[in-house]
Homo-oligomer: A and B are copies of this chain.
C-alpha cells in the first residue's frame, strides 16, 4: 500500500482549523454524538460541522446533510459512519480537499473477515490517490487540549508536554486520566487503531522535533512497518525520553491483538532488544509505563546510582533497601560527613543510624527524616533519593493530619529545591478509614500540584529511578 516516504506535516492533524463529523448522531449514547461534545468540552475554536442527512442540529450545532454542503474549508473529518459507507466518504473528502480523515469506524481487518480486510485496502488506495491521510481505522483518534481536540468529553482540559501514542483508545483514556491524577500533563495524544496509513513510526518522527513535546509514551500492540517504527523511535529517543509499552508479547496476547487492531505482534525478547537499541525505555505494563513517564517528565536526571533513602519505620527501611538494590541502585552506607553532622545534633544516634534512615529511631532525637534527607542530599556521596512519607506511622499519633501535612509540606520544599531527583512514596490510600483516605488524597494532590513525582510503593519508585538513571 502506498506510503509517504518523508514525514508530512502532521501539525495540521493536531491543529485543524475546522472539523466535520461524518455520522454525527442525535443519540447521546453514541460516538457520533460524543465527538461533538468532546470538541465543545475542549473549547475547539474553529467551526465544527456535524454531517447528518436527517437532523437540523446535533449537540447544539447546525448540521449539514452532506460534506458537500458545508460552507467552509474542512481540515479534518472524523468518521463515525459504518464501514460500508467509508469509500464514499473518502470520495467526498477528496472533492472538498480534506487533508486528514480520522476513521473511528471499525470492523475492518481486525474482525478476521476477508471482505472487511479487502475493503480496508481499497480505502487506503483511494485515500492515497486523493492525497488524504488516514488516522485509524478502528481508533479513537486525537486528544490535544492546546488545539481543542478530544475523543471523550471528560478528559482534562489542562495542557502539557507529554505526548502519547496508543493503539487502544480505552488504554489511552486510562493513561491520560491516571497520569493526570499523578501530575502528568498531556499534549498530543493519538489513537491510531489499525494504523492503516499514518503509522506510529511516522508520528514518532514528527514528535521527535515537535517543540510542544518533551516526553513521549507509546502503547503498541504491533507495528505495520517495522523499519519505519525503529527509525522513528530512534529519532525520537535521541531527542527526548521515550517509554514504550509493548503488549501482545505472549501467544494469547498476540491472538488478542490480532482481533483488536489486526496487529502482528512479535516475540517479547526481540522487542526488548529493539527498544533498547533504539534508546527507548521498555514498560511491561501500564503501571510501569505511567511510572516511567512520570519520572521522565517530573524528575531531573541523576548523574549516578548512589541513593539516599529516608522515612518509614524499620520494616520499610529494609524493604526500601531491597527494592533499590534489586533495581540497580546502590544504597551506600551513611558517609562520615553526614554522620558527623548527625553527631552534632543527636549524638546517641550517630553510631546506629544508617541508610536507609529508619524514621522510628529518630523519635525525640531532634532530627527528622526531612532533616536527614537534606543532609544526605547535600553530600557528594548521594546522586538521588527516595523519601517514604510513612503515612501509616502518622495515623497512629495524635494530630495526625496536621503533622502529616506539615511534614509533607517540608518534604515538598526539599524536593523543589533539590537539583538531584527525589521520588516521594505515599501509600495507595488502601484503608477503610475514610478520613485517612481523604488525608492521603489531599496530601498527594498537594505534591502533584507542585510537580513532585509520587509513587504508591517504594518498589515502583526504585524501579523508575533505576530505569531512568543512565
B-contacting 9-mer, from A81-89, A92-100, A200-208, A245-253 = A245-253
A314: interface (CB < 8 Å): yes
Chain B residues with Cβ below 8 Å from A428 are 178, 428, 456
Chain B residues with Cβ below 8 Å from A356 are 256
A173: interface (CB < 8 Å): yes
Please tell me if the beta carbons of B34 and A178 are within 8 angstroms of each other in the complex: no
The number of times this chain is found in the oligomer is 2
Please tell me if the beta carbons of A112 and B178 are within 8 angstroms of each other in the complex: no
Q: Cα distance A356–B445 when bound, in Å? A: 35
Residues 22-45 of A at the B interface (beta carbon under 8 Å): 28-29, 34
Pick from B169, B255, B397: contact of A354, CB under 8 Å: B255
Please tell me if the beta carbons of A331 and B252 are within 8 angstroms of each other in the complex: yes
A432 to chain B: closest residue by CB: B181
Chain B residues with Cβ below 8 Å from A321 are 248, 250, 252-253, 255-256
Question: Would you list 14 pairs from A and B whose C-beta atoms are within 8 A, ordered by A residue?
Answer: A29-B398, A113-B352, A168-B313, A173-B393, A177-B430, A181-B432, A247-B319, A247-B322, A249-B326, A250-B321, A256-B317, A260-B318, A286-B319, A287-B457
Q: Separation in Å of the A209 CB from the closest CB of chain B?
A: 28
A358: interface (CB < 8 Å): yes
Q: Cα distance A330–B252 when bound, in Å? A: 8
Pick from B260, B352, B395, B457: contact of A314, CB under 8 Å: B260
Q: Cα distance A179–B47 when bound, in Å? A: 52
Q: Cα distance A222–B248 when bound, in Å? A: 40
Q: Cα distance A343–B131 when bound, in Å? A: 41
A430 to chain B: closest residue by CB: B178
Q: 1/0 contact trace for A404-425 toward B, CB 8 Å?
A: 0000000000000000000000
A232: interface (CB < 8 Å): no
Q: Separation in Å of the A37 CB from the closest CB of chain B?
A: 10
Chain B residues with Cβ below 8 Å from A28 are 398
Please tell me if the beta carbons of B170 and A315 are within 8 angstroms of each other in the complex: yes
Please tell me if the beta carbons of A315 and B154 are within 8 angstroms of each other in the complex: no
A120: interface (CB < 8 Å): no
Pick from B180, B313, B318, B397: contact of A248, CB under 8 Å: B318
Query: Given A177-B432, A247-B322, list of 13 further CB < 8 A pairs?
Result: A169-B315, A170-B312, A171-B313, A173-B395, A174-B392, A181-B430, A181-B431, A181-B432, A249-B326, A256-B354, A256-B356, A287-B457, A428-B456
Q: Cα distance A317–B259 when bound, in Å? A: 10
A365: interface (CB < 8 Å): no
A111: interface (CB < 8 Å): yes
Q: How many residues of A contact B (CB 8 A)?
A: 88
Pick from B221, B316, B433: contact of A154, CB under 8 Å: B433
Please tell me if the beta carbons of A396 and B259 are within 8 angstroms of each other in the complex: no
Please tell me if the beta carbons of A259 and B358 are within 8 angstroms of each other in the complex: yes
A152: interface (CB < 8 Å): yes
A199: interface (CB < 8 Å): no
Chain B residues with Cβ below 8 Å from A259 are 314, 352, 354, 358
Chain B residues with Cβ below 8 Å from A111 are 351-352
Q: Which of A168, A247, A256, A317 has the most CB of B within 10 A?
A: A256
Q: Cα distance A180–B436 when bound, in Å? A: 14
Q: Cα distance A318–B392 when bound, in Å? A: 36
Q: Which of A431, A433, A436 has the most CB of B within 10 A?
A: A431
Chain B residues with Cβ below 8 Å from A169 are 313, 315
Q: Cα distance A354–B358 when bound, in Å? A: 51
A57: interface (CB < 8 Å): no
Chain B residues with Cβ below 8 Å from A392 are 170, 173-174, 177
Q: 1/0 contact trace for A289-331 toward B, CB 8 Å?
A: 0000000000000000000000011111111111111100011
Q: Separation in Å of the A65 CB from the closest CB of chain B?
A: 25
A33 to chain B: closest residue by CB: B398
